[in-house]
Amino acid sequence: MSQEQPMKPESQENPHDQGNAAATMQSAENRMYGQVQKGGPAAMMQSVGSNIGADKGVVITETNVAGKRIISESIGGQVIGQDILPAPLASETVHEQRGNITIGEALEATALTAGHKPVDYSDAAAIQAAEVRATGRTNIVPGGVAAAAQSAATRNARMTRDEDKTKLGDILMDASSKLPSDKSVTRRDAEGVIGAELRNNPNLCTRPGGVAASVAAAARLNQSNIQSPTRQDK
């Protein structure tokens, strides 16, 4: 279930914040996370002196999937940041429970954050890199998510109308069940997926909320779990 929290423009009586979305994004992050995220969209917008108007509409969307919270930050409908966090436990327990995010789950997160995007060659390359790392095989799985993504990218390249094209959501929904094997996302997995997406993008960039971004967010969370292991109460 998704929870959108659109933030209203700051008061016109405050000339400092007028026409500046940085303060609005900071307020939104404070409400969602309890603090402004270090290195997050609000911090970056403030550091570069962003002039994006607050009236563009700051939205933070939270989606729960596979026991994880997928939080996307957007302005004017454009996703500018994404993070994946553990879902809160339904009830208090003696021990804190944390589970690493798998590659399949990261791909499923992409279906939620960028599911409306038509599949292109950079998406297909990133999905293939993710599948190879999940399965440990050097070739793609027949009938798997990578094969489906490649077919979709080739087919979409021949079409002119976006509404007729196959979307990421069509390919990546239930991605975990389409992988013959899966594994927790590591930093090296993320680097491989990011590299594949970059090399196949004409603009040499990754898409916010896309395949590489979702895998990278999962790797960051998994790494934080390693650096902050849970301690068993005695």
State yes or no: pLDDT of 80 exceeds 90.
no
Higher pLDDT, 140 or 26: 140
What is the per-residue pLDDT across 88-98, written as a single tens digit (0 to 9) for each? 544 333 333 35
pTM for this entry:
0.60
Rounded to an integer, the average pLDDT of 134-162 is: 94
What's the rounded Cα separation, in Å, for the pair 97 and 94?
9
Identify each DSSP E strand in the chain by its residue range. 2-7, 58-65, 68-75, 78-86
Token pair 């997928």 in the structure block, residue = 70
Higher pLDDT, 155 or 96: 155
Q: Is 176 helix (H, G, I), strand (E, B) or coil?
A: helix
Rounded alpha-carbon distances, angstroms, from residue 82 to 21, 59, 77, 92: 17, 12, 14, 27
Q: Within 13 Å and on the Cβ side, how many CA atoms surround 131?
A: 26
- Of the listed ranges 22-26, 52-56, 88-92, 104-108, the least confidently predicted one is 88-92
Rounded to an integer, the average pLDDT of 50-68 is: 58
Token pair 């409908």 in the structure block, residue = 77
What is the per-residue pLDDT across 108-142, written as a single tens digit (0 to 9) for each? 999 999 999 999 999 999 999 999 999 999 888 99
What's the rounded Cα separation, in Å, for the pair 19 and 45?
13
